Structure 1
Amino acid sequence: MTGFADLVQAALPAGRRLPDELRAALDHLEAVGARIDNEHGSFVRLYPGEPEDGQSGVYFAVPDPDHLRHYTGNPDAAETSSVVPIARTGGDGSYAALWFDGDRTRYGHLGSGSGSSWVGLIADDTIGFLRFLAIGYGEPAWPEVHALTPAEDLARELAEAGGADEADGAETFAWQPPDALRSWLRTTFGVEVPERAAEIVAVTPHIDAESDDDPFWRHVAAISR
């Protein structure tokens, strides 16, 4: 069976290369059992085994070469190949993306527009991006959760769904951190994962802003039609 990282690399635009640290992370997650293959394709989650309540819903997906052309309304693949959606960050269809910015690879967020409105830079390097994902939000696409811990965000969601008191019949379950990715980052790169995304992501520009200084927002705006 072809390794997941190889599937991702094969789907990248010609001349684009999967960063070594991201390839290593995908290889590790696949090795511990976080890959899922079904009728919809191949995916890698942040946890081994089948999805459970309390886990992050983030998953890596094999890139769709048409995604950015549809997202930006720009049919010119030479322009849109600089941004490659690679990880689903929300059930609304938002993605984190590889950004091939000249001779370096950065990471940006593409809010769906029908849900999350965040289009902006996540991190300037792969380790920063992986630390962001390893925080473990259910859906990191939503900027309003970045000031909360994932456990606080989950408690808020449960409360909004009907309260956290089991006596009231509300569904209760505990947040589960993505320990497989966290421990690998600690062991391999000697880095820790922050409690909140606000420690990594400084600003979250709106998809419909007239202008913004965020470099990823500016790039997406420049290639949009």
Structure 2
Amino acid sequence: MSKLAIQIESSLPEKIVLPVEIRKLLDWLENIGMVKDFDGNLMGSLPGTHDRKTEVEFYAEHDTHLWWCFDGADINEKEISERVFIFARTGCDGSSAAFWLGEDGVQRIVHIGSGSGSDMICVLASEPIDFIKLLAIGYEEICWGEEYENSPSNSAEMNRDFKEWVKESFNVSVPSKGSELIQSPAVMWDLESRDPFCRWLSKLNEHNF
């Protein structure tokens, strides 16, 4: 197992696990030299040139508090820290992807918008492979849900090596656009949302966003 996978796994809350598919991805990134060490904090990124890859970075977040989601509400930080663990940055605005243990006991991958840029708060994938397929589509950032209705303009050139690795390693096809995986992604303050992660955060927030 890669050093990055070990660092993330050793930081996880007790009831959250590192999915096999994500571990396999982290191992591959380290094997091809895409994991860097920043004073002991490891960070992995997808391969490609500067303008021909998806800008997602994988790391172990040691302080998952989500304060920007709660408008000053008196929240149960222990419940958040036990159920949410950020493991990737999804955009340059500071948005993140996290493992989330739902109230039904099912672990999912969710998106947490920065609030200052993306406001997307939703389940990205119930199955880890769907998150990996979303990465392989070719969006420069995956934090903008409004872009999921369209295929990336340069998708043929984006993530070429990564996309081929995903297809061969998991025996799957990669969708042409995000809406094939995620329909109507929820956003902050969406009181009508049926998205389980958005509703869970809203329930924790006494101001209901």
TM range (shorter): 0.7 to 0.9
Unaligned runs of 5+ in 2: none
1:204 aligned residue? 185
8 Å Cα contact 1:29-1:181 kept in structure 2: no
- Letter of the structure 2 residue corresponding to residue 131 of structure 1: K
CA RMSD of aligned residues (A): 2.4
**Which residue type is aligned with residue 143 of structure 1?**
G
TM-score by length of 2: 0.85
Q: CA offset at residue 4 of structure 1? A: 0.4
Matches of 1:219 and 1:54, distance apart in 2: 36
Asked whether the equivalents of residues 69 and 76 of structure 1 are also in contact (C-alpha less than 8 Å), the reply is no
Secondary structure of the 1:139 match is: coil
CA–CA distance in structure 2, aligned partners of residues 18 and 8 of structure 1 = 8
CA distance in 2, matches of 1:9, 1:224: 29
Q: Partner residue of 2:8?
A: 8
**Identical counterparts, % of pairs:** 30
| C-alpha distance after superposition, 1:7-35 (max 9, x if no partner) | 00111112322111111111111111111
Report how far residue 182 of structure 1 moved.
2.1
User: Which 10-residue stretch deviates more, 101-110 or 33-42?
Assistant: 33-42
Within 2, Cα distance between the matches of 1:184 and 1:90? 22
Consecutive unaligned residues of structure 1, counting only runs of 5 or more, are: 154-174
Change (3 A) 1:183 1:214: same
Larger Rg belongs to: 1
Following superposition of structure 1 onto structure 2, how do residues 55-74 of structure 1 map, counting pairs within 5 Å? Answer: 55-68=53-66, 71-72=69-70, 74=75
Structure 2 equivalent of residue 134 of structure 1? 136
Alpha-carbon shift at residue 199 of structure 1 (Å): 1.0
Distance 1:54 1:184 in 2: 16
Give the structure-1-normalised TM-score: 0.79
| Alpha-carbon distance change, 10 to 180 in structure 1, aligned in 2, over 3 angstroms | farther
CA distance in 1, matches of 2:43, 2:36: 5
**How many pairs does the alignment contain?**
202
* In 2, Cα distance between equivalents of 1:94 and 1:142: 10
